Structure 1
Amino acid sequence: MVRLFTTQVLYRYGNPRKIISDNGTAFKNVKIDAFADKHKIEWRYSSVYNLRANGLAEALNKTLIKILRKTIGDNQRNWHEKLHEALWAYRITHRTATQATPYSLVYGAKAVLPIEVELPSLRIAMAAQIPLTKQTQLRLQELDGMDERRLAAQQNLELYQARMARAYEKLSRPRTFKKGELVLVLRRPILGRHHGPKFAPNWEGPYVIEQAYEGGAYLLADSNGKHPVSSINGRYLKKYYGQNYPDISTTRQNQRESS
């Protein structure tokens, strides 16, 4: 994974300031920590089982999976060989959110498809008749207008995301909690496999909210000050109405005194 980031990210796009990834073991290890420290990268992890925390990447993955399903055929083991074709199809397809193709936003022009060369299209035929100096001038004009087109695409994307957010908020009721509140946690799939009798409760706890983050993520702690997960989205929590819980700071102080 370190080699992949070095060759495909660092050497192609430069040193990133932040990277957001899920909690997979490929991203949470000593080598990744050393890589991030060496290049001064702020590596952030999304809360577990919360795809919305890295929505753009998940949306891209969903689209690629749909394309691969239509191209790999019966032999699904060679999906990695078709991945480049799927990426090419994605890059040259007009996106609703940006009102442009990813290819045009990177290179400032529409991609020339192989079939347009094999069976010359009107665009290729007209380009062949334009003098080289005129082609160069037109290309420079396209490059000069890239910033404006990218800005327009960014504005279209923000408007699209705002519309999607309003539509989602009409149908959802987000759960919000404050620091110090007691909550129960969904056992499955957050806390691993559900052990015990078949009709045992699906909720475990109580846990106390030790830290509340932006975006509805929370850090939990039990009575011993231990964290069951690194962070968790509020969708997998519900308020606990039982008896009061001992204060975490007091519990930790007692543990230090006893040791």
Structure 2
Amino acid sequence: FGVPTTIISDNALAFLGAKVTNWDVNHGIYLSSSSNYYPQGNGLAESTNKNILRIIRRTLKDNQRAWHLMLNSTLWADRVTPKRSVGNSPYKLVYGREARMPISVELPTLDLLHQMELLENEPLQVRYAELMELQELRDQAHVNMEKNQKQMKNTFDKKAKFKIFNEGDIVLKWDVDHAKPGRHAKFDTIWSGPYMISACKEHNAFQLSRLNGEELLIPVN
């Protein structure tokens, strides 16, 4: 609600043109741009995209090309689900209250029943109070996120170990062709196998063989 303090966009001229840039400066808005088509440059965007892809993979069945049909419901599910890292759902951090689910139309929740009992001017007062608490919710979400990031880093540092592979181990191999455009569907698995390590070579390279004994021509690492 109101003029934003920061706008994050890609490098499209629609966001970086002279008129838009001047408008941002005049209104005290900081404009930040990320790399084109590179969500890895924005950690939060990358994390969100991972979660969206995970949900879509679980809902798709035989027809992987129908992912676009699941996108709207996936985004809705992601936005109304509370995040452990911030303590609230993205929806609540934007609007100051939890989303009203479609099922509440047929089966009214306690919150909806309470609003129906309010007098004529009371809903506006309740909404105003919610908006006044919104900045406090966002500040607390920022604190929770920083705390969660520190906990995740400490946990990772404690558990991180150098993985040692030995001859005879059963492993999966990352499918290099998956990263090439047009070679695989977006939601195909990125691993192939299983394979057995038939020989350990120098510089962390391994000779792999299929379970039927057929060796791969090129070692991997």
Q: Which of the five TM-score ranges fits, normalised by the shorter chain? A: 0.5 to 0.7
3-state SS in 1 of match to 2:33: strand
Residue by residue over 1:81-139, the C-alpha shift from the partner in whole angstroms, topping out at 9 and shown as x without a partner, is 21111010011101000000100000001111110112222222222112131111111
1:15 deviates by 9.2
User: What is the match of residue 158 of structure 1?
Assistant: 146
- Deviation string 1:199-257 (CA, Å, 9 cap, x unpaired) is 9x99xxxxxxxxxxxxxxxxxxxxxxxxxxxxxxxxxxxxxxxxxxxxxxxxxxxxxxx
Between the two structures, name the one with larger relative contact order (CA 8 Å, sep ≥ 6).
Answer: 1
C-alpha distance 17-139 of structure 1, shift in aligned 2 (>3 A): closer
Rate the CA distance shift 1:109–1:18 in 2: closer, same or farther, 3 A: closer
The equivalent of 1:43 in structure 2 is 33
Q: Secondary structure at 1:105's aligned position in 2? A: helix
Amino acid at match of 2:47: A
| Closer, same or farther: CA 134–15 of 1 in aligned 2, 3 Å | closer
With the length of structure 2 as denominator, give the TM-score of the two structures.
0.58
Q: Which amino acid aligns with 1:132?
A: E
Match of 1:223 in 2: none
How many positions carry a matched residue from both structures? 157
User: Are residues 43 and 104 of structure 1, via their aligned partners in 2, closer, same or farther at CA, if it must alter by over 3 Å?
Assistant: closer
Residue in 2 that maps onto 1:233: none
Q: Deviations over 1:26-65 (max 9, x none)?
A: x6xxxx368535344553439x9x94x5322121111111
Counterpart selection for 2:109 from 85, 102, 121: 121
Give the whole-Å Cα distance in 2 for the aligned partners of 1:15 and 1:80: 32
Compute the TM-score of the two structures, normalised by the length of structure 1.
0.50
Cα separation, partners in 2 of 1:143 and 1:78, compared to 1, 3 Å: same
- Aligned-pair CA distance for 1:146: 0.6
Residue aligning to 2:44? 56
- The gaps in structure 1 that reach 5 residues or longer are 1-11, 22-26, 174-187, 193-198, 203-259
Unmatched segments (≥5 aa) in structure 2: 22-30, 163-175, 181-200, 205-221
CA distance in 2 between partners of 1:61 and 1:18 (Å)? 16
2:76 maps to 1:96: no
5 Å-filtered alignment, 1:1-259, equals 19=9, 32=12, 36=16, 38=18, 39-40=20-21, 43-45=33-35, 51=40, 53-170=41-158, 171=160
